[in-house]
Structure 1
Amino acid sequence: MSEVWVTLTTAGAGPPPLVVLLSALAALVVVSWSTSWQLSRGLITIAHEGGHALVALLTRRKLQGIRLHSDTSGVTLTRGRPTGPGMILTAAAGYVAPSLLGLGGAWLTSSGYVTVLITLVIGLLFCMLLMIRNLFGVVSLLVTGGAIFAFTWYAAPDMDAVLAYLAVWFLLLGGFRPIMELQRKRRHGRAPDSDADQLARLTFLPGGFWVLLFLLVAAASLAGGAWLLSPVPLDFG
C-alpha cells in the first residue's frame, strides 16, 4: 500500500509541448467532425449524467438510477422534493459537468498527477456502474472503463500522460457542443423537457438564461484548462 501511495502522490513529468498541442488538435477534430463526434459523444453523456448523479447525492436527494441510451442520450432519476435548491442544483449540473471535470482534470494533469486522475476516473466509472439500470449503460461503462484500464496497463508509462491530455482536452472542448445542440433544439421547439426548460420552471428564469450560463461555465473552464495545460508559460503581467 505504501508503494501505491507513493506512486499516486509522486508528480510525473509532462509530455513534450508538441504532444500537448497535438492532443488538443486531435480533440478538436474529434469534437468538430460529425462522424467522430457521434462515436465519442457517449463519453460526454456519461460525464453529463454522472454530474446529475453526483450533485443529487451531495444535495441529499435519493438516486434511483441512471440510464444511458444508444442515441447518446441519458437520464438520471432521483427522488426528493420536486422544487428547491437541491433539485435546481441537480438539474443544472449535467451540462456543466464535462467542462468542470475537464478543468479538474487539467489541474491534475498539469501538476503531474496523471495516475491520480486515471484512478479517480476508473473509480467514478465503477461507482456509476452500480447505479446503471439498463444493459446498454452497463456495456458502455464496462467498455469505457475497460479500455482505460487496458491502455494504462499495457501501454508504455509515458503514454498515460498522452491519454490524460487527450481526455482532458476532449472534455473541455466537448462540453460546448451539447449546449449548442440543446439551443438549436429549443429554438425549433424540440426539447420542451430539457434541463434548461426544467430549470426555467423551477426558478422562473428563462431557459435561454440557463443555456447562456452553461456556455459561460464551459468557456471559463476551457480558458482555465488551456492556461493550465499550455506547454508555454503564459504571463499576463
Structure 2
Amino acid sequence: MTRILLDSLPWSDAPWWQEVVIRTGRTPHIEGWAVDAAGRWSVWAPLLIGVALVLVPATWRVVRILVTLVHELGHAAVGILTGRRFTGFVVRGDMSGHAVTVGKPHGLGLALTTWAGYPAPALVGTGLIWLTLRGWAPAVMLATAVVSVLCLAFVRSWATAGVTLLVAASAGALWWWRSDYRSGAVLLVIAALLLLGAWRHWAAVAPSPRGSDPADLARQTGWPGWFWVGTQLLAIAAATAGAVWWLWNATLA
C-alpha cells in the first residue's frame, strides 16, 4: 500500500525522489536479527551501550540533554495535538528546560500538555525499538532530521539551537549515507538512553515534585502532585514493559 501511494505522486519519476525512496525504504531482513547469536548481539550490544551512557556519571552529564530535548518536545507535540500553539523551547545540560504553548490557561489540553514531558522519552524510546526491529530505521532517521530542522524555528537559546542542529545533521547524515545496521544500532543506543533516562528524570522529581511538572499539574487541577507522579510512573513502566516484550519476542523467544 505504501509503495502504491509513493508511486502515485506526481514527482514519483523524478531522480531526486528516487534517491529519497532508496534511502528511506523499509528493510524487512532486519527482522532476521534474531535468527542466531550474532543477530541477537546486534540488538543487545547497542542497548547495553545506551544503558552504560546513562549509568556512567561522566557520560550521563553529556547525553542527558537528549532526554531533556525529547521531554520538552513531548510537551510541544501534545500541546499541538490538543489545539494549543507551540511558540518556543529551551533545553539545558542540567536536565532543566521549558517549552511554551499558548492556549486556554486551564482545562484538559493544558493538563495533558504539562503531563506529557516525563513519559515522552520512554514512549519515544519504545517506539524507536519497535520501528528499528521492523526495518524502519532509515525512515526514522529522515523523520528525525526533518522534525529537528522544523524545530530550529522554535529554539530560544544558542545552546538549544546547537543541540537541535547536531541532532538534525547526525540523523540526516545517517539517512543519506545509508547503512541499515549502523542506523539501527544508533537508534537502539538512543532508545535505551531515552528509556533509562526517563526513569532517571522521573526519579529526580518523584521524592519532591515541587517546582516540577507534577507541581504545575497540582496547581492546575487540584489533584496532589503525588497523583501525577504516579500516573507518569505508570506510563513509563508501561512503555518499558512494551520495549521488553518486543525485544524478548525478537531476540529471545
- Normalised by the size of structure 2, how large is the TM-score? 0.83
Note the residue ranges of structure 2 that are not aligned, 5 or more in a row: 1-16, 34-38
Return the alpha-carbon distance in structure 2 between the equivalents of residues 153 and 205 of structure 1.
48
Counting only pairs closer than 5 Å after superposition, residues 75-90 of structure 1 correspond to structure 2 as: 75-90=98-113
Shift, 1:199, TM fit: 0.7
The answer as to 2:29 corresponding to 1:13 is yes
Shift, 1:150, TM fit: 3.2
The answer as to 2:37 corresponding to 1:23 is no
Question: CA offsets per residue over residues 190-223 of structure 1, 9 Å max, x none?
Answer: x532100011112222111111211211111111
The answer as to 2:167 corresponding to 1:144 is yes
Note the residue ranges of structure 1 that are not aligned, 5 or more in a row: none
Match of 1:195 among 213, 217, 220: 213
The alignment covers a number of residue pairs equal to 229
* Gap change, CA 1:57 and 1:155, over 3 Å in 2: closer
Question: CA offsets per residue over residues 46-94 of structure 1, 9 Å max, x none?
Answer: 1000001111111111222111224331111122211101100100111
Give the structure 1 partner of residue 154 of structure 2.
131
Shift, 1:138, TM fit: 0.5
Return the alpha-carbon distance in structure 1 between the equivalents of residues 217 and 238 of structure 2.
21
SS in 1 for 2:140: helix
Give the structure 2 partner of residue 4 of structure 1.
20
Give the structure 2 partner of residue 221 of structure 1.
239
Return the alpha-carbon distance in structure 2 between the equivalents of residues 130 and 20 of structure 1.
35
Return the alpha-carbon distance in structure 2 between the equivalents of residues 165 and 69 of structure 1.
24
* Gap change, CA 1:161 and 1:25, over 3 Å in 2: same
Question: CA offsets per residue over residues 145-194 of structure 1, 9 Å max, x none?
Answer: 2233334545754311211221122222221110001124x1xxxx5321
Question: What percent identity do the matched residue pairs reach?
Answer: 31
User: Does the CA-based 8 Å contact 2:121-2:195 persist in structure 1?
Assistant: yes
* Gap change, CA 1:109 and 1:209, over 3 Å in 2: same
Which moved further from structure 2: 96-105 or 1-10? 1-10
Give the structure 2 partner of residue 173 of structure 1.
196
User: Does the CA-based 8 Å contact 1:12-1:114 persist in structure 2?
Assistant: no
* Gap change, CA 1:71 and 1:233, over 3 Å in 2: closer
User: Does the CA-based 8 Å contact 1:99-1:221 persist in structure 2?
Assistant: yes
Return the alpha-carbon distance in structure 2 between the equivalents of residues 116 and 151 of structure 1.
11
User: Does the CA-based 8 Å contact 2:132-2:184 persist in structure 1?
Assistant: yes
- Normalised by the size of structure 1, how large is the TM-score? 0.88
SS in 1 for 2:223: coil
The answer as to 2:205 corresponding to 1:182 is yes
Structure of higher CA gyration radius: 2
Counting only pairs closer than 5 Å after superposition, residues 83-162 of structure 1 correspond to structure 2 as: 83-154=106-177, 156-162=179-185
